[in-house]
Homo-oligomer: A and B are copies of this chain.
Amino acid sequence: MQGLLPNPIPVFKEDIPTPALVVNLDLFERNLQKMADYLNQRRISFRPHAKTHRCPTIARKQVALGAAGICVAKLGEAEVMAASGITNILITSEIVGKSKIKRFIELAARCPSLMAVVDHPTAIQDLAEAANAKKTTLNLLVDIDGGNHRTGCVPGRAAVELAEMVCSSPWLRFRGLQCYAGRAAHSIGFEERKKYSRERLAEGLESKAMIEKQGIPVEIFTGGSTGTYDIDVVVQGFNELQAGSYIFMDLDYRRIGSHTGDSFMDFEYALTVLTTVISQSHVGLATVDAGFKAFSTDKPFVPELKSDPGVKFRWAGDEHGILELEDARQAIKLGDRLEFIPPHCDPTVNLYDFIYAVRGDRVEEIWPVQARGMSQ
């Protein structure tokens, strides 16, 4: 098992052992700054989703540019981020089961700003009992289904009842609502995304009004994504954005389309997988050292060669990809180091222990993906 840094530490990009995760620092910093500026100007709270990077170094950079804190999907990620000094963490997935509740309360005792979401009376009851036993205050948001039927309660009456239930426990603190319209993030076409997101947010905001009518203040209304960042933040009542992928971008996000009908290019491709051509025995083919263990494989499209999107990539098992070369053939040869844009950034990053942050031909920094694999 590797330590916190690779050994030896590469000085130049050409020394990085492949396959490797590479961030182009110029592009990454522009992405980071662009979203920060957009939200700071509009005085919208920003809580970037750290499930994208699982990397405390990046979380710190986001906070340094004004983020209020971070989101994580899982308790295991929250533990790593908190141990790295990140405070104000929201865990966006429900915490269920005795041993997880125990860990959550232990973490909350160390990090009083920690928040989690709930979507079921049983879960609230379990948390209330455990919090009471340990005399620890827990900050909770009620999670409202944003249309995916994945997590979150049904909007409306159910949300009000859950909020009331949270308020009725002396050790639980109701902080607000989470409403993530996951399908909106990846809907193709700006108008389509806008329509879908607005409908889901309207349901969530109606629940908010109903809860406030009961005299319960709703401090936080959090949700949204890279795909809806400029759609959600202008909605009255929505006050915290959870975008994650904007820092890296990926092929999936490009295809969702922009205002103008073109590709979604609001943010730049800062993340690539660096590979090496390790075999070339057949005319028109070349094999790179990166396959299912080097790229996400959950989308119906393949990695794209950054320098020449016309070269076709074909999966060739756990450790290999085959390039089908036509005109480009002469340009690619054994030993070449090629960069690919991954289909989906989050699960790609989760395969690696390090991110090599590169400027020009230099490795400027190496960022450990410390919460890699921490889905528990």
Contacts and interface: CB of A to CB of B under 8 A. Distances in A.
A151 to B, nearest CB: 4
B19 A120 contact: no
Contacts of A122: 334-335
A317 interface: yes
Contact of A280 (B120, B282, B294): B120
Contacts of A368: 1
A277 interface: yes
Interface string A85-116: 00000000111110110000000000000000
Nearest to A347: B292
Contact of A154 (B281, B298, B347): B281
Interface in A117-168: 119-120, 122-123, 145, 148-154, 158
Given A335-B122, A347-B293, A278 B151 contact: yes
A53 interface: no
A152 B279 contact: yes
B290 A318 contact: no
A316 interface: yes
Contacts of A281: 119-120, 145, 149, 151-154, 158
Given A73-B319, A119-B281, A373 B346 contact: no
A53 to B, nearest CB: 12
A100 B278 CA distance: 11
Contacts of A351: 350-351, 373
Interface string A6-38: 000000000101111000000000000000000
A296 interface: yes
Contacts of A148: 316
A154 B145 CA distance: 56
A376 interface: yes
Contact of A296 (B76, B297, B344): B297
Contact of A346 (B95, B278, B298, B318): B318
A51 to B, nearest CB: 6
A226 to B, nearest CB: 14
A366 interface: no
A332 interface: no
A315 interface: yes
A375 B279 contact: no
Contact of A100 (B17, B298, B346, B374): B17
Contacts of A277: 96
A90 to B, nearest CB: 14
Interface of A: 1-4, 15, 17-20, 51, 73-74, 76, 80, 93-97, 99-100, 119-120, 122-123, 145, 148-154, 158, 182, 276-282, 285, 287, 289-290, 292-294, 296-298, 315-320, 322, 334-335, 337, 344, 346-347, 350-353, 368, 370, 372-376
Given A149-B281, A289-B375, 15 more contacts: A2-B374, A18-B97, A19-B376, A96-B276, A96-B277, A96-B334, A96-B335, A97-B276, A120-B280, A148-B316, A154-B281, A158-B281, A292-B296, A292-B347, A297-B297
30 contacts: A1-B3, A1-B80, A1-B368, A2-B373, A17-B99, A51-B319, A74-B289, A93-B278, A93-B289, A96-B276, A119-B281, A122-B334, A122-B335, A149-B281, A149-B282, A150-B316, A150-B322, A151-B281, A153-B281, A154-B281, A158-B281, A292-B298, A293-B350, A294-B375, A296-B297, A318-B347, A319-B375, A351-B373, A353-B373, A372-B373
